[in-house]
């Protein structure tokens, strides 16, 4: 007994006709008949009643059918599992992420993924969200961690929210606290010497919009720095900065306070995972998706109430 014989038997049983079964299996009818005859010989029982009207199962055939279907299903499960394992022995994952995520979440994601699957080739693209979506649409990326989404492109991407993250104001841990109450208004922040990001940062656009909406012009002492440099400058006491809560993890040289405005909700941003719509992910990309989701959940736990898992997070 072998899988080809069982597959042929199950197809004849399903269709009730040797000719149609041979066409379905793309197998010459004499070959199909020989497989069934060999199976019957091995089992010592006829499996079909044959007639001009078609073929129906004998009692022996009815007994064999559920076992045959179960063995074929098990064989397919094994095949898929081995294919998954083989897929993770080679291949690549092309991940895009914004700069603020590259020094925090992505570091942990790639470390965990590489430790588990060292043979997979990893490529990282570090840009703003709009540029990452363009690379995703152009087939240059498999996945992109973004902080904004282009609604007009929703039909081209599957976008799964991962985290809702609060924006906070950071200062040097060696300097006096900015607020005894643990929070600052947008007006309070505007009056402090600030270090601000390059205009290519999504975060810069969000903070500029908040100041403009409040009719405020912030006091800027340094403009155009990248995330790691901004954090180092703040640690040295050059000024304050508005940053995502995530970047404070393992940064003992920084002190943070919440950013609110007269009881209004805290300023937040949503981190989402985007991938091309209608494109089946490879085994390696699927594992990367799960690694990102698990790492995001762990980050939310570490950051406490300034970061939470998005309620409608999904990874299809």
pLDDT for 132 equals: 92
- Give the pLDDT confidence of 242-254 residue by residue, as tens digits: 998 888 877 889 9
In order of 46, 176, 283, the CA distances from 129 in angstroms are: 65, 35, 25
Q: How many CA within 13 A on the CB side of residue 309?
A: 14
Does one domain contain both 80 and 130? no
Tell me the CATH number at 27.
1.10.10.10
**Residue (of 252, 33, 284) closest to 142 by Cα position:** 284
Q: Are 246 and 238 in contact, with CB atoms under 8 Å apart? A: no
Strands 194-197 and 268-276: unpaired
Does one domain contain both 205 and 61? no
* Count of structural domains, the chain: 2
Strands 268-276 and 157-172: antiparallel
- Give the pLDDT confidence of 154-173 residue by residue, as tens digits: 567 889 999 888 888 999 99
Does one domain contain both 212 and 295? yes
Q: Are 250 and 204 in contact, with CB atoms under 8 Å apart? A: no
Does one domain contain both 153 and 12? no
Q: Is the pLDDT of residue 306 over 70?
A: no
Q: Which of 87, 102, 135 is the last residue of a domain?
A: 87
Q: How many CA within 13 A on the CB side of residue 158?
A: 14
Does one domain contain both 78 and 140? no
Q: Are 64 and 43 in contact, with CB atoms under 8 Å apart? A: yes
Q: Could you list the residue range(s) of the whole structural domain that residue 199 is in?
A: 93-316
CA distance 178 to 164: 24
Contacts of 251 (CB under 8 A, 6+ apart): 231, 235
Does one domain contain both 108 and 194? yes
Does one domain contain both 235 and 251? yes
Q: Which of 44, 69, 87 is the last residue of a domain?
A: 87
Does one domain contain both 235 and 295? yes
**Cα torsion angle, 170, 176, 181, 184, sign:** negative
Does one domain contain both 67 and 115? no
Confidence class for position 199, pLDDT limits 50, 70, 90: confident
Q: Is the pLDDT of residue 315 over 50?
A: no
Enclosing H/E stretch for 170: strand 157-172
In order of 96, 112, 122, 208, 301, the CA distances from 108 in angstroms are: 14, 6, 14, 29, 14
- Give the pLDDT confidence of 202-248 residue by residue, as tens digits: 788 888 888 888 899 999 999 988 888 999 999 999 999 999 888 88
Q: Which of 87, 108, 140 is the last residue of a domain?
A: 87
In order of 129, 130, 160, 289, the CA distances from 155 in angstroms are: 17, 15, 13, 20
Does one domain contain both 43 and 190? no
Does one domain contain both 259 and 143? yes
CA distance 160 to 272: 5
Does one domain contain both 225 and 261? yes
Is 302 in a helix, a strand, or coil? helix
Contacts of 272 (CB under 8 A, 6+ apart): 145, 146, 147, 149, 159, 160, 161, 162, 310
- Give the pLDDT confidence of 74-111 residue by residue, as tens digits: 887 777 666 666 666 777 899 999 888 888 889 999 99
pLDDT for 155 equals: 60
- Give the pLDDT confidence of 112-160 residue by residue, as tens digits: 999 988 888 899 999 888 889 989 888 899 999 998 644 444 567 889 9
Tell me the CATH number at 315.
3.40.190.290
């Amino acid at each position: 007994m072998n899988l080809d014989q069982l597959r042929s038997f199950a197809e004849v049983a399903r269709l009730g006709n040797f000719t149609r079964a041979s066409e379905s299996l793309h197998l010459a009818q004499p070959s199909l008949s020989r497989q069934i005859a060999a199976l019957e010989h091995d089992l010592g029982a006829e499996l079909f009643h044959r007639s001009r009207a078609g073929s129906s199962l004998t009692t022996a055939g009815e007994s064999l059918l559920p076992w045959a279907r179960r063995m074929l299903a098990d064989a397919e499960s094994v095949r898929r599992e081995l294919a998954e394992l083989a897929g993770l022995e080679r291949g690549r994952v092309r991940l895009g992420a914004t700069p603020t995520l590259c020094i925090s979440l992505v570091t942990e994601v790639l470390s965990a993924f590489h430790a588990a699957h060292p043979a997979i080739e990893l490529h990282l693209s570090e840009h703003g969200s709009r540029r990452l979506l363009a690379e995703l649409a152009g087939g240059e990326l498999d996945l992109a961690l973004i902080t904004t989404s282009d609604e007009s492109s929703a039909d081209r991407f599957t976008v799964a929210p991962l985290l809702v993250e609060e924006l906070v104001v950071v200062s040097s841990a060696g300097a006096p606290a900015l607020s005894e109450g643990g929070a600052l208004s947008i007006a309070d922040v505007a009056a402090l010497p600030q270090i601000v990001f390059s205009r290519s940062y999504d975060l810069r656009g969000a903070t500029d919009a908040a100041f403009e909406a409040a009719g405020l012009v912030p006091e800027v002492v340094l403009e155009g720095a990248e995330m790691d440099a901004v954090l180092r400058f703040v640690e040295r006491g050059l000024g304050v900065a508005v940053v995502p809560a995530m970047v404070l993890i393992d940064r003992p040289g920084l002190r943070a306070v919440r950013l609110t405005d007269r009881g209004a909700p805290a300023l937040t941003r949503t981190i989402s995972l985007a991938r091309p719509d209608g494109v089946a992910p490879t085994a390696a990309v699927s594992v990367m998706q799960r690694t990102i989701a698990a790492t995001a959940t762990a980050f939310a736990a570490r950051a406490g109430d300034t970061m939470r898992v998005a309620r409608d997070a999904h990874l299809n």
